[in-house]
Amino acid sequence: MTIDDQPTGAAMRRGPFRPGDKVQLTDPKGRLTTITLTDGGVYHTHRGSFEHDQLIGAPEGTVVATTAGIEYLALRPLLGDFVLSMPRGAAVIYPKDAAQIVTQADVFPGARVVEAGVGSGALSLSLLRAVGDGGSLLSVERREDFAEIARGNIEDFFGAEHPAWSLRIGDLADVLPEAVEPGSVDRIILDMLAPWENFDAVAEALVPGGVLLAYVATATQLSRFAEDAKSDGRFTEPVAWESMVRGWHLEGLAVRPEHRMIGHTGFLVTTRRMAPGTTAPIRRRRPAPGAYAEEAVQVEEEQLSADLGERDVSPKKLRKLRRSFDARRRAREGDQQTDQPPTGPDADLE
Protein backbone atom coordinates (compact mmCIF):
# COMPACT_ATOMS: atom_id res chain seq x y z
CA MET A 1 0.00 0.00 0.00
CA THR A 2 1.45 3.35 -0.99
CA ILE A 3 0.96 6.64 0.78
CA ASP A 4 -1.52 7.65 -1.93
CA ASP A 5 -3.60 4.49 -1.39
CA GLN A 6 -3.81 4.51 2.40
CA PRO A 7 -6.37 6.56 4.37
CA THR A 8 -4.36 9.59 5.35
CA GLY A 9 -6.91 12.08 6.68
CA ALA A 10 -7.82 15.63 5.77
CA ALA A 11 -4.56 17.09 7.05
CA MET A 12 -2.46 14.68 4.91
CA ARG A 13 -4.49 14.41 1.70
CA ARG A 14 -3.23 15.58 -1.63
CA GLY A 15 -5.11 17.09 -4.52
CA PRO A 16 -8.16 19.35 -4.53
CA PHE A 17 -10.27 20.01 -1.46
CA ARG A 18 -13.05 17.48 -0.87
CA PRO A 19 -16.05 17.25 1.48
CA GLY A 20 -14.83 16.21 4.93
CA ASP A 21 -11.47 17.95 4.54
CA LYS A 22 -10.27 20.29 7.26
CA VAL A 23 -9.28 23.67 5.86
CA GLN A 24 -7.27 26.34 7.63
CA LEU A 25 -8.35 29.85 6.72
CA THR A 26 -6.01 32.82 7.19
CA ASP A 27 -7.58 36.29 7.23
CA PRO A 28 -5.80 39.54 6.18
CA LYS A 29 -4.57 40.04 9.78
CA GLY A 30 -3.02 36.57 9.94
CA ARG A 31 -5.68 35.09 12.23
CA LEU A 32 -6.35 31.38 11.72
CA THR A 33 -9.67 29.55 11.61
CA THR A 34 -10.18 25.85 10.86
CA ILE A 35 -13.38 24.59 9.22
CA THR A 36 -14.55 21.21 7.89
CA LEU A 37 -15.90 21.32 4.35
CA THR A 38 -19.42 19.99 3.70
CA ASP A 39 -21.57 19.97 0.58
CA GLY A 40 -23.81 23.03 0.72
CA GLY A 41 -22.10 24.40 3.84
CA VAL A 42 -21.60 28.11 4.49
CA TYR A 43 -18.88 29.81 6.52
CA HIS A 44 -20.19 32.93 8.29
CA THR A 45 -18.11 35.76 9.72
CA HIS A 46 -18.96 39.22 11.03
CA ARG A 47 -17.69 40.49 7.66
CA GLY A 48 -19.65 38.41 5.20
CA SER A 49 -19.78 34.72 4.31
CA PHE A 50 -18.83 32.28 1.57
CA GLU A 51 -20.07 28.86 0.50
CA HIS A 52 -17.98 25.74 1.05
CA ASP A 53 -18.67 24.80 -2.57
CA GLN A 54 -16.33 27.62 -3.58
CA LEU A 55 -13.46 25.59 -2.09
CA ILE A 56 -14.59 22.04 -2.88
CA GLY A 57 -12.68 20.98 -5.99
CA ALA A 58 -10.20 23.86 -5.67
CA PRO A 59 -6.48 23.26 -5.02
CA GLU A 60 -4.66 24.15 -1.83
CA GLY A 61 -3.42 27.72 -1.71
CA THR A 62 -6.71 29.04 -3.07
CA VAL A 63 -7.96 32.48 -2.00
CA VAL A 64 -11.69 32.78 -1.37
CA ALA A 65 -13.58 36.02 -0.73
CA THR A 66 -16.60 36.61 1.48
CA THR A 67 -19.70 38.47 0.34
CA ALA A 68 -18.13 41.60 1.85
CA GLY A 69 -14.94 41.17 -0.18
CA ILE A 70 -12.71 39.93 2.67
CA GLU A 71 -10.19 37.43 1.31
CA TYR A 72 -9.09 34.22 3.07
CA LEU A 73 -6.16 31.98 2.18
CA ALA A 74 -7.21 28.30 2.28
CA LEU A 75 -4.72 25.51 3.09
CA ARG A 76 -4.94 22.11 4.74
CA PRO A 77 -3.71 22.41 8.35
CA LEU A 78 -0.33 20.96 9.24
CA LEU A 79 0.06 18.51 12.13
CA GLY A 80 1.07 21.31 14.51
CA ASP A 81 -1.96 23.35 13.51
CA PHE A 82 -4.26 20.38 14.10
CA VAL A 83 -2.78 19.64 17.54
CA LEU A 84 -3.23 23.18 18.80
CA SER A 85 -6.86 23.38 17.63
CA MET A 86 -8.12 19.83 18.23
CA PRO A 87 -10.62 18.92 21.00
CA ARG A 88 -8.88 18.13 24.25
CA GLY A 89 -9.63 16.68 27.64
CA ALA A 90 -6.09 16.88 29.01
CA ALA A 91 -3.44 19.49 28.20
CA VAL A 92 -1.65 18.58 24.98
CA ILE A 93 2.09 18.13 24.47
CA TYR A 94 3.14 21.14 22.39
CA PRO A 95 4.56 20.53 18.90
CA LYS A 96 7.96 21.82 20.05
CA ASP A 97 8.13 19.09 22.69
CA ALA A 98 6.67 16.39 20.43
CA ALA A 99 9.39 17.12 17.86
CA GLN A 100 12.07 16.89 20.55
CA ILE A 101 10.63 13.61 21.83
CA VAL A 102 10.63 12.02 18.36
CA THR A 103 14.25 13.12 17.80
CA GLN A 104 15.78 12.56 21.23
CA ALA A 105 14.04 9.22 21.72
CA ASP A 106 15.21 8.32 18.19
CA VAL A 107 11.79 7.09 17.07
CA PHE A 108 12.36 5.56 13.63
CA PRO A 109 10.19 3.96 10.91
CA GLY A 110 9.35 0.41 11.98
CA ALA A 111 10.07 1.05 15.67
CA ARG A 112 8.07 -0.70 18.39
CA VAL A 113 7.00 2.12 20.71
CA VAL A 114 4.96 2.30 23.91
CA GLU A 115 3.58 5.51 25.35
CA ALA A 116 1.80 5.88 28.67
CA GLY A 117 -0.40 8.87 29.40
CA VAL A 118 -2.16 9.46 26.08
CA GLY A 119 -4.05 12.58 27.16
CA SER A 120 -5.76 14.00 24.08
CA GLY A 121 -3.56 12.12 21.57
CA ALA A 122 -1.24 14.96 20.55
CA LEU A 123 2.02 13.04 20.98
CA SER A 124 0.42 9.88 19.55
CA LEU A 125 -0.02 11.67 16.21
CA SER A 126 3.69 12.51 15.97
CA LEU A 127 4.73 9.02 17.07
CA LEU A 128 2.46 7.36 14.48
CA ARG A 129 3.90 9.61 11.79
CA ALA A 130 7.40 8.54 12.87
CA VAL A 131 6.90 4.74 13.16
CA GLY A 132 4.87 4.49 9.93
CA ASP A 133 2.67 1.54 8.97
CA GLY A 134 5.57 -0.87 9.51
CA GLY A 135 6.04 0.01 13.16
CA SER A 136 3.74 -0.19 16.14
CA LEU A 137 2.54 2.19 18.83
CA LEU A 138 0.87 0.90 21.98
CA SER A 139 -0.79 3.74 23.88
CA VAL A 140 -1.76 3.13 27.50
CA GLU A 141 -4.17 5.51 29.24
CA ARG A 142 -5.68 4.94 32.67
CA ARG A 143 -8.64 7.29 32.10
CA GLU A 144 -11.34 6.12 29.74
CA ASP A 145 -12.63 9.64 29.01
CA PHE A 146 -9.18 10.80 27.88
CA ALA A 147 -8.75 7.63 25.80
CA GLU A 148 -12.03 8.27 24.00
CA ILE A 149 -11.03 11.83 23.10
CA ALA A 150 -7.60 10.65 21.91
CA ARG A 151 -9.18 7.96 19.71
CA GLY A 152 -11.51 10.53 18.14
CA ASN A 153 -8.67 12.97 17.44
CA ILE A 154 -6.44 10.32 15.87
CA GLU A 155 -9.21 8.95 13.65
CA ASP A 156 -10.17 12.52 12.76
CA PHE A 157 -6.63 13.37 11.67
CA PHE A 158 -5.78 10.20 9.75
CA GLY A 159 -9.30 9.72 8.39
CA ALA A 160 -9.54 6.18 9.81
CA GLU A 161 -7.99 3.92 12.43
CA HIS A 162 -4.21 3.92 12.01
CA PRO A 163 -2.94 0.38 11.22
CA ALA A 164 0.04 0.71 13.57
CA TRP A 165 -1.91 1.95 16.61
CA SER A 166 -3.46 0.11 19.53
CA LEU A 167 -4.97 1.68 22.65
CA ARG A 168 -5.29 0.03 26.04
CA ILE A 169 -6.98 1.39 29.17
CA GLY A 170 -5.33 0.73 32.52
CA ASP A 171 -2.12 1.24 34.46
CA LEU A 172 1.13 0.75 32.56
CA ALA A 173 2.54 -1.66 35.15
CA ASP A 174 -0.49 -3.93 34.63
CA VAL A 175 -0.89 -3.58 30.86
CA LEU A 176 2.73 -3.81 29.70
CA PRO A 177 3.52 -7.39 30.85
CA GLU A 178 0.34 -8.65 29.14
CA ALA A 179 0.67 -6.64 25.93
CA VAL A 180 4.33 -7.10 24.92
CA GLU A 181 7.01 -9.76 25.07
CA PRO A 182 9.94 -9.14 27.43
CA GLY A 183 12.77 -7.30 25.68
CA SER A 184 10.71 -6.47 22.58
CA VAL A 185 10.08 -2.72 22.85
CA ASP A 186 12.45 -0.21 21.24
CA ARG A 187 11.22 3.02 22.83
CA ILE A 188 9.02 3.92 25.82
CA ILE A 189 7.68 7.43 26.47
CA LEU A 190 6.08 8.25 29.82
CA ASP A 191 3.84 11.29 30.30
CA MET A 192 2.47 10.77 33.80
CA LEU A 193 2.61 12.10 37.33
CA ALA A 194 4.98 9.49 38.81
CA PRO A 195 6.97 7.83 35.98
CA TRP A 196 9.57 6.45 38.44
CA GLU A 197 6.96 3.94 39.69
CA ASN A 198 7.24 1.99 36.41
CA PHE A 199 10.97 1.20 36.23
CA ASP A 200 10.41 -2.53 36.76
CA ALA A 201 7.83 -2.87 33.98
CA VAL A 202 9.83 -0.66 31.63
CA ALA A 203 13.14 -2.48 32.24
CA GLU A 204 11.44 -5.81 31.52
CA ALA A 205 9.90 -4.61 28.23
CA LEU A 206 12.79 -2.63 26.71
CA VAL A 207 15.43 -4.13 24.44
CA PRO A 208 19.04 -3.64 25.59
CA GLY A 209 19.96 -0.12 24.47
CA GLY A 210 16.29 0.87 24.21
CA VAL A 211 15.36 4.44 25.11
CA LEU A 212 13.16 5.50 28.01
CA LEU A 213 11.98 9.12 27.87
CA ALA A 214 9.89 10.86 30.52
CA TYR A 215 7.99 14.11 30.06
CA VAL A 216 7.47 15.85 33.41
CA ALA A 217 6.18 19.29 34.33
CA THR A 218 8.00 20.18 37.55
CA ALA A 219 11.60 20.25 38.76
CA THR A 220 10.62 18.02 41.69
CA GLN A 221 9.40 15.32 39.32
CA LEU A 222 12.54 15.70 37.21
CA SER A 223 14.84 15.27 40.22
CA ARG A 224 12.91 12.26 41.56
CA PHE A 225 12.93 10.48 38.20
CA ALA A 226 16.65 11.10 37.61
CA GLU A 227 17.74 9.97 41.08
CA ASP A 228 15.56 6.86 41.01
CA ALA A 229 16.90 5.96 37.54
CA LYS A 230 20.47 6.25 38.85
CA SER A 231 19.79 4.13 41.92
CA ASP A 232 17.89 1.49 39.90
CA GLY A 233 21.11 0.31 38.22
CA ARG A 234 19.47 -0.96 35.00
CA PHE A 235 19.64 2.37 33.16
CA THR A 236 22.34 4.74 31.93
CA GLU A 237 22.99 8.20 33.33
CA PRO A 238 19.84 10.31 32.69
CA VAL A 239 20.07 13.41 30.50
CA ALA A 240 17.54 16.24 30.92
CA TRP A 241 16.67 19.43 29.05
CA GLU A 242 13.85 21.75 28.09
CA SER A 243 13.18 23.74 24.93
CA MET A 244 11.89 27.26 24.49
CA VAL A 245 10.60 28.69 21.22
CA ARG A 246 10.56 32.38 20.30
CA GLY A 247 9.03 33.63 17.08
CA TRP A 248 10.21 36.65 15.14
CA HIS A 249 8.25 39.61 13.82
CA LEU A 250 8.95 40.17 10.10
CA GLU A 251 7.76 43.46 8.62
CA GLY A 252 10.11 45.22 6.21
CA LEU A 253 13.09 46.44 8.23
CA ALA A 254 11.20 45.92 11.51
CA VAL A 255 12.72 42.51 12.20
CA ARG A 256 12.71 41.71 15.91
CA PRO A 257 11.80 38.95 18.37
CA GLU A 258 8.12 38.54 19.14
CA HIS A 259 7.02 39.96 22.48
CA ARG A 260 5.50 36.61 23.42
CA MET A 261 7.21 33.24 23.39
CA ILE A 262 6.45 29.64 24.28
CA GLY A 263 8.52 29.24 27.42
CA HIS A 264 8.51 26.34 29.85
CA THR A 265 6.04 23.60 29.01
CA GLY A 266 7.82 20.58 30.45
CA PHE A 267 11.13 18.83 31.07
CA LEU A 268 12.34 15.91 28.96
CA VAL A 269 14.66 13.33 30.47
CA THR A 270 16.09 10.29 28.68
CA THR A 271 17.96 7.19 29.75
CA ARG A 272 18.78 3.86 28.06
CA ARG A 273 18.38 0.24 29.11
CA MET A 274 21.54 -1.55 30.14
CA ALA A 275 22.14 -5.15 29.09
CA PRO A 276 20.48 -7.63 31.49
CA GLY A 277 22.75 -8.49 34.39
CA THR A 278 24.93 -5.41 33.77
CA THR A 279 25.08 -2.56 36.25
CA ALA A 280 25.63 0.98 35.03
CA PRO A 281 29.07 2.31 36.06
CA ILE A 282 29.05 4.90 38.80
CA ARG A 283 29.79 8.34 37.45
CA ARG A 284 32.56 9.82 39.56
CA ARG A 285 31.97 13.46 40.32
CA ARG A 286 31.85 15.72 43.32
CA PRO A 287 28.26 16.82 44.09
CA ALA A 288 27.56 20.43 44.91
CA PRO A 289 27.09 21.24 48.62
CA GLY A 290 23.51 20.55 49.64
CA ALA A 291 22.73 18.55 46.52
CA TYR A 292 21.50 15.61 48.60
CA ALA A 293 19.34 16.16 51.65
CA GLU A 294 19.39 13.67 54.50
CA GLU A 295 15.84 12.65 53.76
CA ALA A 296 14.53 12.14 50.22
CA VAL A 297 11.74 14.41 49.08
CA GLN A 298 8.48 12.46 48.85
CA VAL A 299 5.79 13.77 46.52
CA GLU A 300 2.33 12.25 46.70
CA GLU A 301 0.52 11.66 43.39
CA GLU A 302 -2.61 13.37 44.69
CA GLN A 303 -0.65 16.55 45.44
CA LEU A 304 1.00 16.44 42.00
CA SER A 305 -2.40 16.03 40.42
CA ALA A 306 -3.68 19.11 42.24
CA ASP A 307 -0.57 21.14 41.41
CA LEU A 308 -0.73 20.25 37.73
CA GLY A 309 -4.44 21.03 37.48
CA GLU A 310 -5.57 17.62 36.25
CA ARG A 311 -9.34 17.71 35.89
CA ASP A 312 -12.19 15.52 34.82
CA VAL A 313 -13.88 15.92 31.47
CA SER A 314 -17.51 16.83 32.10
CA PRO A 315 -20.14 14.39 30.77
CA LYS A 316 -21.68 17.26 28.77
CA LYS A 317 -18.39 18.03 27.00
CA LEU A 318 -17.76 14.34 26.38
CA ARG A 319 -21.20 13.92 24.76
CA LYS A 320 -20.56 16.96 22.57
CA LEU A 321 -17.18 15.61 21.46
CA ARG A 322 -18.71 12.20 20.71
CA ARG A 323 -21.36 13.80 18.49
CA SER A 324 -18.70 15.84 16.70
CA PHE A 325 -16.43 12.83 16.10
CA ASP A 326 -19.40 10.69 14.96
CA ALA A 327 -20.55 13.35 12.49
CA ARG A 328 -17.10 13.66 10.95
CA ARG A 329 -16.74 9.86 10.82
CA ARG A 330 -20.04 9.58 8.91
CA ALA A 331 -18.90 12.34 6.55
CA ARG A 332 -15.63 10.51 5.86
CA GLU A 333 -17.41 7.21 5.25
CA GLY A 334 -19.81 8.89 2.83
CA ASP A 335 -16.89 10.51 1.00
CA GLN A 336 -15.08 7.16 0.72
CA GLN A 337 -18.20 5.53 -0.72
CA THR A 338 -18.46 8.31 -3.31
CA ASP A 339 -14.84 7.70 -4.35
CA GLN A 340 -15.38 3.94 -4.94
CA PRO A 341 -15.25 2.86 -8.64
CA PRO A 342 -18.52 1.41 -10.05
CA THR A 343 -18.91 -2.36 -9.91
CA GLY A 344 -21.30 -4.89 -11.43
CA PRO A 345 -22.45 -5.72 -14.97
CA ASP A 346 -22.95 -2.05 -15.89
CA ALA A 347 -19.50 -0.95 -14.71
CA ASP A 348 -18.12 -0.77 -18.28
CA LEU A 349 -20.84 1.70 -19.24
CA GLU A 350 -19.63 4.30 -16.74
Residue 43, pLDDT above cutoff 60: yes
Give the mean pLDDT of 246-263.
89
Higher pLDDT, 6 or 99: 99
d(CA 9, CA 99): 20
Kindly state the percentage of the chain with pLDDT values over 90.
58
Res. 264: pLDDT tops 90: no
Q: Are 171 and 142 in contact (CB under 8 A)?
A: yes
Q: What is the mean pLDDT of the chain?
A: 85
* Out of 207-211, 245-249, 334-338, least confident range: 334-338
Q: How far is CA 293 from each of CA 73, 196, 212, 273, 298, rounded to the nearest angstrom?
A: 58, 19, 27, 28, 12
**pLDDT at res. 6:** 44
pLDDT score, position 349: 45
User: What mean pLDDT is predicted for residues 248-263?
Assistant: 89
What pLDDT is recorded for position 184?
96
Residues 84-141: tens digit of each pLDDT: 888 887 778 889 999 999 999 999 999 999 999 998 899 999 999 999 999 999 999 9
- What band does 290 get if pLDDT is binned at 50, 70 and 90? low
pLDDT at 10 over 60: no
Say which residue, 299 or 336, is predicted with more confidence. 336
User: Global pTM?
Assistant: 0.77
Of the candidates 265, 207, 196, which has an alpha carbon nearest to the alpha carbon of residue 231? 196
In the prediction, which pLDDT does 235 show?
Answer: 95
> Which neighbouring-strand residues pair with 71?
65
Work out the average pLDDT over 167-180. Answer: 95
Q: What is 81-278's CATH number?
A: 3.40.50.150
- pLDDT value at residue 277: 86
On whether the 22-77 domain is CATH 3.10.330.20, my answer is yes
Q: Where are the domains of the chain?
A: 22-77, 81-278
Residue 3 in this model has a pLDDT that exceeds 60: no
pLDDT band at 34 (very low <50, low <70, confident <90, very high): confident
pLDDT of 189-223, one tens digit each?
A: 999 999 999 999 999 999 999 999 999 999 999 99
